[in-house]
Amino acid sequence: MNITAVILTLKEGVNVSELGAILKHEQEMVAQWKLEGIIHDMYLRQGRNGAVIMFNELDETAVQALIETLPLYPYFKPAEFLGLLKND
């Protein structure tokens, strides 16, 4: 299984607690992606200043297009991508 991990970090000065409605919509989108099998999992970063999302079987271009649709996308620094292979 190929996984593309995306590391998302909030820009300096962004307080996610002030973005309630946007955050709720973001959580709904990520939950839907998980139901559809688009993502394997999502982890919040320590300090809650971002997240790591594990995408299933998608290349970096496809993943970039998806994360650009996230409601919080304008509040993130440029994403970091890691291509991973599951070692069975």
CATH number at residue 55: 3.30.70.1060
The answer for residues whose C-beta is within 8 angstroms of residue 76's C-beta and 6 or more apart is 8, 9, 10, 11, 50
The residue assigned the tokens 């309630």 is 20
Beta bridge partners of 52: 7, 43
User: What is the rounded CA–CA span in Å between residue 38 and residue 19?
Assistant: 25
pTM for this prediction:
0.88
The residue assigned the tokens 């593309």 is 4
Q: How many domains does the chain have?
A: 1
* pLDDT digit string, tens, across residues 34-86: 999 999 999 998 988 899 999 999 999 999 999 999 999 999 999 999 999 87
Q: Which domain holds residue 66?
A: 2-85
Q: What is the DSSP letter of 56?
A: E
